[in-house]
Amino acid sequence: MTSTAPGTLTLRPLGLQGPGEAEVCGAVPGAQINGTQQTALRPLAGGPLAFGHCEAVWRSDGALERAVLERAILERAVLPLADLPDWAERRAPGQGRLAEALLERLSRPRSPLAGLSLDRPRIMGILNVTPDSFSDGGHRADPALAVRDGLAMLEQGADILDVGGESTRPGARPVTLDEERARVLPVVRALAEAGACVSIDTRHAAIMREAVAAGARIINDVTALGGDPDSLGAAAEAGVPVVLMHMQGDPQTMQQAPRYGHVALDIYDYLAARLEACAAAGIAAGQVVVDPGIGFGKTVTHNLQLLEQIALFQGLGCPVLLGASRKSFIGKLSRGEPAKARLPGSLAAVLFALQRGVQIIRVHDVAETRQAVDVWQAMTLAPSAFEAPDSAAPPLV
């Protein structure tokens, strides 16, 4: 079928495999098993996972409605990588080159983030210094306690400490800049002086500037630098990496009947537009992380769809962050457990997302997540069981 309708192409990697699986499948260029030509694989974002097929989705151009790009799906197909450019070109002239560009974005290694290489999953520890966060609000009213807990998270294996002074739980009300400033700056400064890689979780340009001056090395904004008219300029001036998260509405309204045409595709379009805004403001593409915003203006079904399709966001060419820790959807899928009893479900979401290429995991329970990630990575990198052991590398005992 050939289409000449104006539209947009997206690619979602499928059938992600670790090195051992790829070797067993013979999925290297020119490889054959029992005389059958095998599909060549590409690495996903330069990491340990590889893919040989994509789901190609061709959508009609649409209008911006309620901050969501709602576009009708015209065609979709699951294809080996070699067939994607021709399929896309038949949809509209020039789309074959776009397919090749998307494959390159999906495959290329991600740049280091604030000095941290992304050749392995990174753990961002959540350090809320708020009285009302949904899980740990009120625990760290004293900055000394927050610094103590942050240092403990580093010992437990956190790579980044995400310091936040304003709750963005559903229904939360905003705080004044003076209040947020007083909560976060002493903690950011002390942890940065201790050598931690600190992220400032804020949606206010003034706090971004002051936190970076105090030593923060990453800006994490739930409004994707869109909630404060000065945020794009502040982030560009700071010259540090930024995390762009999607949220439908604001904390007070986001869970009031959230609606999407196709949740993952709509959020992909939103984040692509925010990447363009960052580029126009002078923020380099290698300085941006994207976060689909689990739980921020999403139903349980939306969250599940985002997790299943999260590899799609690698097509933006940026690292992907997942923040699912202790979220309410876990209790809703289980037995209604309160936030602090959702560790097993949080770990299940982490491992599910890692198998789809997520590079950064934002969590409350650092030690437990570190162990789960380390074991997952060892299993993913394990050689085929039928290969002779490497005598130069003694087995783990």
User: From start to end of the chain, where are the E strands?
Assistant: 7-14, 32-33, 36-37, 42-43, 50-51, 53-60, 64-65, 68-69, 73-80, 122-128, 160-164, 198-201, 218-221, 242-245, 288-291, 321-322, 360-363
Compute the distance between CA of residue 161 and CA of residue 319 in angstroms, rounded to an integer.
Answer: 17
Q: Give how far the C-alpha of residue 177 lies from the chain's centroid of Cα atoms, to the nearest Å.
A: 27
Q: Which of 2-6, 300-304, 366-370 has the lowest mean pLDDT?
A: 2-6
* Predicted local distance difference test score (pLDDT) of residue 7: 78
* Predicted local distance difference test score (pLDDT) of residue 72: 85
* Predicted local distance difference test score (pLDDT) of residue 273: 96
Contacts within 8 Å (CB) and 24+ apart, 189-194: 189/214, 189/215, 190/143, 190/147, 191/147, 191/150, 191/151, 191/161, 191/163, 191/215, 192/216, 192/217, 194/147, 194/151, 194/154
* Predicted local distance difference test score (pLDDT) of residue 256: 85
* Predicted local distance difference test score (pLDDT) of residue 382: 84
Residue 327 is a catalytic residue? yes
> Which band of pLDDT confidence, cut at 50, 70 and 90, is reported for residue 286?
very high
> Which band of pLDDT confidence, cut at 50, 70 and 90, is reported for residue 200?
very high
Query: Which DSSP string corresponds to 277-293?
Result: HHHHHT--GGGEEEE--
Higher pLDDT, 60 or 201: 201
Coil, strand or helix at 397 = coil
pTM: 0.90
Given 274, 327, 356, 370, the catalytic residue: 327
Report which secondary-structure segment, H or E, holds 275: helix 263-281
Q: Compute the average pLDDT of residues 299-308.
A: 97
* Predicted local distance difference test score (pLDDT) of residue 1: 45
> Which band of pLDDT confidence, cut at 50, 70 and 90, is reported for residue 389?
low
- Report for 33-37, 127-131, 171-175: range of highest mean pLDDT: 127-131
What does pLDDT average to over the chain?
Answer: 89
pLDDT digits (tens, 9 = 90+) for 346-375: 999 999 999 999 999 999 999 999 999 999
Contact 285, 318 (CB under 8 A): yes
**Residue in 307, 305, 196, 293 with CA at minimum distance from that of residue 250:** 293
Q: Which of 133-147, 173-187, 199-213 has the lowest mean pLDDT?
A: 133-147
> Which band of pLDDT confidence, cut at 50, 70 and 90, is reported for residue 114?
very high
Contact 192, 211 (CB under 8 A): no
Question: Could you tell me the domains of the chain?
Answer: 7-107 (no CATH), 122-381 (3.20.20.20)
> Which band of pLDDT confidence, cut at 50, 70 and 90, is reported for residue 182?
very high
Query: Does residue 252 have a pLDDT over 90?
Result: no
Coil, strand or helix at 13 = strand
Q: Compute the average pLDDT of residues 315-333.
A: 97
Query: Does residue 65 have a pLDDT over 50?
Result: no
Query: Does residue 289 have a pLDDT over 70?
Result: yes
Query: Does residue 77 have a pLDDT over 50?
Result: yes
Query: Does residue 188 have a pLDDT over 90?
Result: yes
Query: Does residue 21 have a pLDDT over 60?
Result: yes
Q: Which of 43-47, 164-168, 234-238, 239-243 has the lowest mean pLDDT?
A: 164-168
**Residue in 190, 184, 220, 186 with CA at minimum distance from that of residue 202:** 220
* Predicted local distance difference test score (pLDDT) of residue 167: 82
> Which band of pLDDT confidence, cut at 50, 70 and 90, is reported for residue 67?
very low
End-to-end C-alpha distance for the chain, whole angstroms: 56
* Predicted local distance difference test score (pLDDT) of residue 23: 60
Compute the distance between CA of residue 165 and CA of residue 220 in angstroms, rounded to an integer.
Answer: 12
Residue 362 is a catalytic residue? yes
Query: Does residue 171 have a pLDDT over 60?
Result: yes
* Predicted local distance difference test score (pLDDT) of residue 68: 45
Q: Compute the average pLDDT of residues 299-307.
A: 97
> Which band of pLDDT confidence, cut at 50, 70 and 90, is reported for residue 132?
low
* Predicted local distance difference test score (pLDDT) of residue 293: 97
